[in-house]
């Protein structure tokens, strides 16, 4: 999986929410929304300031996101 270098954590939470919402507005299911939001937040970690990750970086990170069920689900 692509490494995520952390330059700043500022804005990562906002990026996660934005990624989830954008994926949902595109009509995606919850799993896809979680993957895209996580990838968007991970991509934001490498950038300082109000600079989002590139679409190419997000696409590369989406495949590296692993989801695991919690509890007895």
26 tagged catalytic: no
Distances (CA, A) of 7 to 12, 45, 59: 11, 6, 20
CA 42, CA 61: separation in Å to the nearest integer? 8
Question: Active site residue: 14, 22, 34, 52, which one?
Answer: 14
Active site residues: 14
């Amino acid at each position: 999986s692509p490494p995520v270098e952390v330059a700043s954590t500022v804005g990562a939470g906002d990026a996660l929410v934005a990624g989830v919402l954008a994926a949902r507005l595109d009509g995606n299911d919850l799993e896809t929304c979680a993957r895209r939001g996580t990838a968007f937040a991970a991509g934001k970690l490498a950038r300082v300031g109000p600079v989002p990750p590139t679409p190419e970086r997000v696409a590369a990170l989406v495949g590296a996101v692993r989801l695991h069920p919690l509890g007895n689900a």
